[in-house]
Amino acid sequence: MIDGSLIFITALAVAAGTGVWLSEGAGRFREILLAESLFTLELLPKIVAGVLIASALPFLMSRDRVQALIGPDSGMRGLAIATLAGAIIPGGPSVTYPLTIGLMAAGADLGAGVALVSGWVLIGLNRTLIWELSFLPPEFVALRVALSLPVPVFLGWIVRRFRREIRLP
């Protein structure tokens, strides 16, 4: 239950919390703690649903088909498919990460997983259309999307290469 990453994020939270307490007082500290606790509660049902989907997905999808589409030997086409999936899937981290876990359990490789997550964070349609365009000039957004377009495929390719050089399966 308690591992390195939990200890690490707890230490960070305690350090930042101490900083807030010292610089802005106990009142602000309690305010933030309460707000984030409530947010965790709000998020809880989403997390449960996401985990259920991620756990069930591998049993529902044919391993052969997932592997052929976005498996280790799916080539550039597989990375492009994973990128596209990441870009068009609507939803935040509690949807995209469980979905990636589910797909990786069903036969997608690490490179495709990285391409999918990168496609979501860099060119996610939802975020770009709803948020970015309402704040930033369209010319800037267009340039950013154009420059970012090849990046997820490239990152997936890097990860695949790197993995092959480190240890052959």
Partner 1 sequence: MNILIGTILLWALALLVLRRLRRHAPEHLDDVLTRSRATVTFLIPRVFVGLVGAGFMAELLPVDRIEHWFGESAGLGGVVLATAVGMATPGGPFIAFAIGAAALKAGAAWAPLMAFITAWSVMNLNRAIAYELPLMGRHFLLIRSAASLPVPLVLGLLVLAW
**Residue range at the interface with partner 1 (CB under 8 A); choices 71-79, 80-88, 158-166:** 158-166
Are 108 and 99 contacting, i.e. CB atoms less than 8 angstroms apart?
no
Residue 52 sits in the site that holds partner 1 (CB under 8 A) = yes
Tokens standing for residue 1: 């239950």
CB nearer to partner 1: pick between 74 and 100: 100
Chain positions 91 to 150 lying near partner 1, rule: CB under 8 A, are 91-95, 97-98, 100-101, 110, 113-114, 117-118, 121-122, 127, 131-132, 134-137, 140, 143-144, 147-148
Q: Which residues contact 93 (CB under 8 A, 6 or more apart)?
A: none
Where is 117: in which H helix or E strand?
helix 110-123
**Which burial class, exposed, middle or buried, applies to 46 when counting CB atoms under 10 A from its CB (0-12, 13-18, 19+)?**
middle
Work out how close the CB of 159 gets to partner 1 at its nearest, in angstroms, rounded to a whole number. Answer: 6
Interatomic CA distance for residues 129 and 50, integer angstroms? 24
Select from 41-49, 63-71, 76-84 the region that touches partner 1 (CB under 8 A). Answer: 41-49
Q: Of 97, 131, 95, 101, whose CA–CA distance to 117 is shortest?
A: 97
- The number of residues that bind partner 1 (CB under 8 A) is 74
Q: Of 39-47, 63-71, 73-81, which part binds partner 1 (CB under 8 A)? A: 39-47
Q: Is 2 helix (H, G, I), strand (E, B) or coil?
A: coil
Output the smallest distance, CB 69 to partner 1, in A: 19
* Shortest Cβ 72–partner 1 spacing (Å): 15
